[in-house]
Amino acid sequence: MKRNSLTFIIGLLLLLVFVFMLFFFQVRQTEIALVTRFGKPTRSINVDPERPDPGLHFKLPWPIERVQYFDKRIQDFDGKFEETLTQDHYPILISVYAGWVISDATLFRNRFDGSVARAETQLESLIFSEKKEVVGNQPFSHFISTDAKELKFTEIEQQILAKVQPLARANYGIDVQFLGIKRLGLPEAITQNVFDRMKAERQRVVQVRQAEGENQARDIRSDADLTRTRILAGADARVKEIQGQAEAEVSASLKVFEENPELAIFLLKVDALGAAAKEHSTLILDQRTPPFDLLDGAAKGVTNFTLPNPGKK
Amino acid sequence: MSASDPHHHHPHPAPGAAPEPAPVDSGSRALEDALRSSFVVVKAVMLVLLLVFLFSGGKVVGPGEQAVILRFGKPLGTGPEQLLGPGYHWAFPYPIDEVVAIKVGEVQTLTSSIGWYSDNTPDAPAVPTLNPAAEGYLLTADQNIVHARATLRYRITDPLAYVFGFIHATNAVQNLLDNALLYAGARASVNTALINNAAFTDLVLTRLNEQIMNCKMGITVQLINVDVIAPGYVKPDFDAVLSAEQARSALVHAAQGYAESTVRAAESESNALVNAAEGYRTRLVADVHADANAFTNQLPQYVLNPELIRQRLLIAQWQTIFSGKADKWFMPEPAAGQPSELWLQLNREPQGTRNDTNNATAGQ
Q: Give the gap in angstroms from C-alpha B55 to the nearest C-alpha of chain A.
A: 19
Cβ distance of B259 and A220 shorter than 8 Å:
yes
Phi, psi for A171 (deg, rounded to 5):
-95, -30
Q: Are residues A163 and A211 in the same domain?
A: no
Q: Give the gap in angstroms from C-alpha A125 to the nearest C-alpha of chain B.
A: 20
When pLDDT is cut at 50, 70 and 90, the band that residue B210 belongs to is: very high
A313, part of any domain: no
Domain span at A198: 194-259
- Tell me, what's the pLDDT at B352? 47
Chain B residue with CA closest to A8: the answer is: B12
pLDDT digits (tens, 9 = 90+) for B249-266: 999 999 999 999 999 999
A141, part of any domain: yes
A136, part of any domain: yes
Cβ neighbour number for residue B219 with a 10 Å cutoff: 24
A309, part of any domain: no
Determine if the peptide bond prior to B21 is cis (ω within 30°). Answer: no
Q: Give the gap in angstroms from C-alpha A13 to the nearest C-alpha of chain B.
A: 11
Q: Are residues A278 and A293 in the same domain?
A: yes
Q: Are residues A67 and A85 in the same domain?
A: no
- Tell me, what's the pLDDT at A148? 85
pLDDT digits (tens, 9 = 90+) for B64-122: 888 888 888 788 877 777 788 888 888 887 778 888 888 887 888 999 988 888 877 77
A306, part of any domain: no
Q: Are residues A246 and A204 in the same domain?
A: yes
What contacts 24+ positions apart, CB below 8 Å, involve A286-292?
A286/B330, A286/B331, A286/B332, A286/B333, A287/B330, A287/B332, A287/B333, A288/B333, A289/B318, A290/B311, A290/B314, A290/B315, A290/B318, A291/B315, A291/B318, A292/B330
Q: Are residues A86 and A147 in the same domain?
A: yes
Q: Which of A186, A202, A223 is the last residue of a domain?
A: A186
pLDDT digits (tens, 9 = 90+) for B6-21: 444 444 444 444 455 5
pLDDT digits (tens, 9 = 90+) for A76-120: 999 999 899 999 998 999 999 999 999 998 999 988 887 889 999
Q: Give the gap in angstroms from C-alpha B20 to the nearest C-alpha of chain A.
A: 13
For residue A98, the cross-strand partners are A77, A179
A300 has pLDDT over 60: no
Q: Are residues A125 and A174 in the same domain?
A: yes
Q: What is the CATH number of the domain that holds A159?
A: 3.30.479.30
Interface predicted TM-score (ipTM) over 0.85: no
- Tell me, what's the pLDDT at A313? 38
Q: Give the gap in angstroms from C-alpha A150 to the nearest C-alpha of chain B.
A: 10
Q: Which of A202-206, B198-202, B294-298 shows the lowest mean pLDDT across its residues? A: B294-298
Specify the number of domains making up chain A: 4
Half-sphere exposure of B50 (CA within 13 A, CB side): 8
When pLDDT is cut at 50, 70 and 90, the band that residue B22 belongs to is: low
Cβ distance of B73 and A29 shorter than 8 Å:
yes
Chain A residue with CA closest to B364: the answer is: A303
Measured between beta carbons, the chain A residues lying within 8 angstroms of B2 are none
How many CB pairs (< 8 A) connect A and B?
376
Cβ distance of B320 and A274 shorter than 8 Å:
yes
A170, part of any domain: yes
A108, part of any domain: yes
Helix (H, G, I), strand (E, B) or coil at B296: helix
Pairing state between β A65-71 and A75-78? unpaired
Cβ distance of A284 and B310 shorter than 8 Å:
no
pLDDT digits (tens, 9 = 90+) for A264-298: 888 888 888 888 877 677 777 777 776 777 766 55
Among residues B7, B15, B9, B44, the alpha carbon closest in space to that of B32 is found at B15
Q: Are residues A88 and A169 in the same domain?
A: yes
Q: Are residues A94 and A169 in the same domain?
A: yes
Q: Where are the extended beta strands (E) located within A119-228?
A: 174-185
B126 has pLDDT over 50: yes
Measured between beta carbons, the chain A residues lying within 8 angstroms of B245 are 209
A310 has pLDDT over 60: no
| CA–CA dist A196, B340 (Å, integer) | 98
Closest partner residue to B270 (CB to CB) among A191, A232, A267 is A232
For chain B, helix (H) and strand (E) counts, in that order, are 10, 12
Q: Are residues A86 and A164 in the same domain?
A: yes
A302 has pLDDT over 50: no
Measured between beta carbons, the chain A residues lying within 8 angstroms of B332 are 286-287, 295-296, 299-300, 302
Q: Are residues A87 and A169 in the same domain?
A: yes
Q: Which of A18, A49, A71 is the last residue of a domain?
A: A71
- CB distance A69 to A31 below 8 Å: yes
Q: Are residues A51 and A112 in the same domain?
A: no
Chain A residue with CA closest to B210: the answer is: A154
